[in-house]
Structure 1
Amino acid sequence: MSEIATRTLEILGLLQAQKEWTGEDLARRLTVSTRTIRRDVQRLRELGYPVDASRGPGGTYRLVPGSTLPPLIFDQDQAIAIALALQTAPSSIQDMGDSVTRALRTITDLMPYDLARRLKTFDVAKIENAWDMAPPTVTPAMLALLSSAAQDRELVKFQYRSKLVDSQDDIPVIAEPHRLVVWSGRWYLIAFNQRQHSWHAYRLDRISDLRSPGWRFTPREFPEDSVARFIQLQPDRGDATDSWPCRGTVRMDCPVDLVAKWAPGGANIESIDNDTTRISMGAWSWAGLLGLLATFDCEFVVEEPPELASEAARVADRLRRAGNGLLR
């Protein structure tokens, strides 16, 4: 029985590692007959593993999606990779902390002693960094609905709060979802807006009243070569005005492509001309905001608010004194 159980688990591991196996390849790999392979595959089915078989010469076996999640088998490198991924999971998804902790405990509790001991050397502590421009959170339910709609080519309807519209009212949207993207901790839906007949990147934290009525659509070809560039160049990509205690807008002598590439994920940008960009973003202090803007190493003019302009003059004096002290 021990030999049968070991071989059955070996077959499961092979089916998980490679999409498809012929019965003869499995038999040769495990040095048994194809009849024995058929019996072992049947045992896997009885244990809840959905193994599909094609008949005839050269028939193959493969794992297919089932109605439940059966136990999985990982090699040592896979187990460590999963454990590390769980410890460093993004914090921008609501209510996932307990699920992540339980999943990590489940994996480590079932590990052999040597592997569990090795994993302890990868114990990771996450520390929040203010320079990361902490993102707002989204719900797993929203991610699941939008992901399924994009996969099944079903329209979605929602209300969207845009920073580009003066009205405080949300905008109704009917969209063809293309894909989900996470950038700088912020979640975006790339979709084609049927009312506006154009492509957009929607911030998930600004979506409300999300529904999928079940209407199908014919997929369109995404017009851009780079998803990253498309999102970075969206003028409405950044955080809401009240997300930071200090928020300002400057006109910067720098092309929009360069600003979009290096600006924090929470910033909003607008192209004025080929060499000038307007950027709005927030920070924990006026000095902190100026520090972020200064990283572009180009001329800029403060447009608003007056507090940012006053802080720019004060910081300029402070930096001038710092430089003079070294030059004496």
Structure 2
Amino acid sequence: MNKSQRLLNILMTISSKKKFNIKDLTEEFHVSKRTILRDLQELSELGVPLYSELGINGGYHILKDHTLPAVRFTENEAIALFFIAESLKYYNQLPFESEIQAALKKFYHHLPSGIKVKIDQMRSKILFWVPNRPLKTPFLSDLLEAALHQSRISVSYESQNGVSSRDIQVIGVYTMNGFWYCPAYCYKSQDYRTFRVDRILSFAVSTETIEKLDLSNHHVTDWVFPDKAESELEQGLTLKVELNKRGVWQCKSDFWMSQGMTIHDDETGTIIKTIQASDVPCVVDTIMQWGTDAVVMEPPMIRELIIKRTKEILHLYNASL
């Protein structure tokens, strides 16, 4: 291993450790103590913020908030990373939004001119578009932090029934079709609920002294793919929908609904999936859009809501004649 490769490998190794000592590095890289000390001195001169502690329990640390080590990318890897960041540009709001933009500009600035030209050309050939929702989500980053620290928080939430105050414990946040959602345990309902982030009007750390739940083993993916999850979340409702050929075609364009779809030999289909009570309004809206191409078989609650909505629409048009 040449010196430059060894320096890069040492940097990657010590960046992944909270503490390290000279003996560990000499054994890992099969070089002398003097060589390791020289390498560390050179890394320090290059700007790596090393800090040493003396004594029996001493060792070396890299100071917090340091810059990450340089990483080499192939041309295609660099282009792929750039477009991963580009794919987020049409979201109205994001956690770490300013940091994403700063990182993207910094990354682009240091690319070779040939790769910059290729990226600029590809920008006119590929677009990652999501529906532009002109809805504010000022507490998006706060909710993510609350999920990471398992904080119990107090929010005011606006639903179709009005504004209510709730204490919740956040599992995480996810985005779908341009909207941000927050699955959480709701202490008011004593059950798990999914909240639209743009409908959260206020946010504060709860002052209640009730013991918090341990949600460390719950993952936000359990809410996007509930049929694949083996969690302790609410049992939910079984949704069953029969689709004609056109219904299958429409369902393929809906990521969430299509997760439970089975296509039959005659090109019709059936949706069977587990949904939460908080998903019911969204399901009703979707099925109403599909019209006669979809028929809900279960649960009775959704059938009744669709019948009620249909009667209300019919009454509205009859009254205007």
Per the shorter chain, which TM-score range?
0.5 to 0.7
Matched, 1:305 2:313: yes
* Equivalent position amino acid for 1:147 in 2: L
Q: Give the alignment of 1:27-176 within 5 angstroms.
A: 27=26, 32-41=31-40, 44=43, 47-49=47-49, 66=64, 68-77=65-74, 79-89=78-88, 91-94=90-93, 100-113=100-113, 115-117=115-117, 119-120=119-120, 122-123=122-123, 125-126=126-127, 128=129, 134-139=132-137, 142-163=139-160, 165=161, 168=162, 170-176=163-169
Check conservation: 2:157, 2:165, Cα contact below 8 A.
Answer: yes
- Identical-pair percentage: 17
Q: Helix, strand or coil for the counterpart of 1:11? A: helix
CA distance in 2, matches of 1:263, 1:306: 29
The runs of 5 or more residues in structure 1 that have no matched partner are 232-251, 272-276, 283-288, 311-328
CA distance in 2, matches of 1:151, 1:8: 34
Matched, 1:227 2:232: no
1:146-189 CA deviation, whole Å, 9 max, x = no partner? 222222222111110112x2xx3x11011112222223332222
CA distance in 1, matches of 2:108, 2:291: 44
115 and 32 in structure 1: CA distance in 2 versus 1, 3 angstrom threshold: farther
Q: TM-score of the superposition, structure 2-length normalised?
A: 0.58
CA distance in 1, matches of 2:127, 2:15: 32
CA distance in 1, matches of 2:81, 2:44: 26
* Equivalent position amino acid for 1:305 in 2: I
Match for residue 197 of structure 2?
Answer: 204
Check conservation: 1:76, 1:115, Cα contact below 8 A.
Answer: no
Check conservation: 2:152, 2:212, Cα contact below 8 A.
Answer: no
CA distance in 1, matches of 2:257, 2:14: 44
Shift of residue 223 of structure 1?
A: 8.2
Q: TM-score of the superposition, structure 1-length normalised?
A: 0.57
Shift of residue 103 of structure 1?
A: 2.8
Check conservation: 1:260, 1:269, Cα contact below 8 A.
Answer: no
Q: Give the alignment of 1:186-205 within 5 angstroms.
A: 186-205=179-198
CA distance in 1, matches of 2:175, 2:315: 33
CA distance in 2, matches of 1:14, 1:30: 10
Q: Helix, strand or coil for the counterpart of 1:80? A: helix
Question: What is the aligned length?
Answer: 261
Match for residue 237 of structure 1?
Answer: none
CA distance in 2, matches of 1:88, 1:180: 18
Matched, 1:279 2:261: no
Check conservation: 1:21, 1:60, Cα contact below 8 A.
Answer: yes
CA distance in 2, matches of 1:120, 1:227: 37
The runs of 5 or more residues in structure 2 that have no matched partner are 228-238, 243-250, 260-277, 298-305
